Amino acid sequence: MPADAGQPAYRRIVLKLSGEALAGSQGYGIDPEVLQRIGSEVRDVVDLGVEIAIVIGGGNIFRGIAASAGGMDRATADYMGMLATVINALALQDALEKVGLQTRVLSAIEMRAVAEPYIRRRAMRHLEKKRVVIFAAGTGNPFFTTDTAGALRAVEIGADAIMKATKVDGIYSADPRRDAAAERLPRTTYLDVLTRRLEVMDTTAISLCMENRLPIVVFDLTKSGNIRRIVMGEPVGSIVSA
């Protein structure tokens, strides 16, 4: 979406963060330095007048799929993974409030002592009041990933795009860490992602974005300022669209 000079290209976005992103180089748990940097970058975007919601994963604390592969009941493992996302959401809320942002955590699983229950209209009202909304507990259902939760929430709140934070600078034809011949794809289509099995998001999330023509921007979170650059319309990362 092209932007006028000095004007954001997006009015409302959903930022999809993996739990692993919060772990930083330590690979597990929550790295306070990473939280601090994400908080500063989100504040820069909010200062532009852009409404931002965040969907957070829980893989730095507990991975339901891995536990299921180890013999645990899949539904039980997925619910445990959802609880891990709530821990991350609270940590992220604390980091955002430390940089002066108003935030609300909305959980798909009710736990009123720590978060508001997810209600679509309430989420949209928070965004209109320029609060950062953090969606926790995925969709509230087992067998669905937080990627799918991100796509679902983005469609529900009428976001202009979903921004998928990764550790690489976009979408590649293969894993660039394993294949030196992997080609970077600045733009691609939903169907191409599905047919070539490019590891952008799971198929349910991609299908949901395709049906609702929701652009997906895949970018490198480790490079400071990338979120702001994308919001301002700069060609950062890769875009999946129709």
Query: Is 6 within a domain?
Result: no
Number of domains in the chain: 1
Query: Is 191 within a domain?
Result: yes
The pLDDT of residue 2 is 52
Query: Is 139 within a domain?
Result: yes
Q: Look up the CATH number of the domain holding residue 164.
A: 3.40.1160.10
On whether the CB atoms of residues 57 and 88 are closer than 8 A, the answer is yes
Query: Is 188 within a domain?
Result: yes
Which domain range does residue 54 map to?
12-241
Rounded CA separation 104/89 (Å):
10
The pLDDT of residue 3 is 52
Tokens of 164: 């998928």
Query: Is 36 within a domain?
Result: yes
Query: Is 5 within a domain?
Result: no
The pLDDT of residue 127 is 98
On whether the CB atoms of residues 134 and 194 are closer than 8 A, the answer is no
- Please report, in tens digits, the pLDDT of each residue of the chain (242 residues total): 455 568 999 999 999 999 999 998 888 999 999 999 999 999 999 999 999 999 999 999 998 888 999 999 999 999 999 999 999 999 999 999 999 999 999 999 999 999 999 999 999 999 999 999 999 999 999 999 999 999 999 999 999 999 999 989 999 998 888 888 899 999 999 999 999 999 899 999 999 999 999 999 999 999 999 999 999 999 999 999 99
Query: Is 7 within a domain?
Result: no
